[in-house]
Each structure stands twice: as C-alpha cells, then as structure tokens.
Amino acid sequence: MKLNTTKITLPGLWDAIRAHEGKQFLTKKGLPFTYTIKGGELFTDRRERSITRSTFEKAYEKLVQDQVGEDAPKKIVGPKTLNLYGAPYIWAVFLGIGLIEEAVYVQQKMDI
C-alpha cells in the first residue's frame, strides 16, 4: 500500500471526497456502492448509518502515522486494520480518490 499525501492533504480531504459523490466505488470484496454527502456525513447506498467527516480524517491521520519511518513495519494493510467504523467504505473511497494505491484491491471470482 502506498499513501499519496502530496496529492490529497488533510485540509483538502473532504473536498476530494465530495468531488466524487455519486460515482461508483468497489469495496475490497468487490461490492459496488455509491455515496451521497449531507453536511459532514457520508451515506452509502449499502448502509443506513453514516460515516462522519471526522472518521475519514481520523483514518487519514492513522494512515499517515503508520507510514512514518521507512524501516518501521507497516501495521495498516487493509480496511480491517484501520479499526474504524465503516472501514471497508473508507478504504474504497481512499483508493478511488487516489489517496491510497494498491496493486490489486478487488478479490477476483474464479469461474470453474
């Protein structure tokens, strides 16, 4: 996982998320979703509860802290390791807006 904090900074994070409202994203398991923004809350079309702006900011800060020190082992490797409410959606949005880069992030189904 590579974090692109030069592209999207913490002060510009919510604006970047708002700019992608209505676009389709995929969770790590390949589940499609879109979202709408109402004030400081993000609502996905797959859940009834919202994910707050502060939760996205907390996730951003956790990712930045995890990347500090080149020799330090990285603990955050996917949505589960973010350990925040809505992590699969947060991770997918971060991937979709270009904050996180991964080689392959959607599980592929095999036809047998």
Angle in degrees, 0-180, between the axes of helices 53-67 and 87-96, rounded to the nearest 10: 70
Average pLDDT of 86-95?
97
| Residue-level pLDDT at 72 | 67
* Domain assignments of the chain as residue spans, ordered by start: 2-101
pTM above 0.85, yes or no: yes
| Residue-level pLDDT at 93 | 97
Average pLDDT of 80-109?
85
**Best CA proximity match to 24, nearest among 73, 102, 103, 92:** 92
Neighbours of 20 (CB within 10 A): 16
| Residue-level pLDDT at 56 | 98
pLDDT in tens, 47-81: 889 999 999 999 999 999 998 866 667 789 899 99
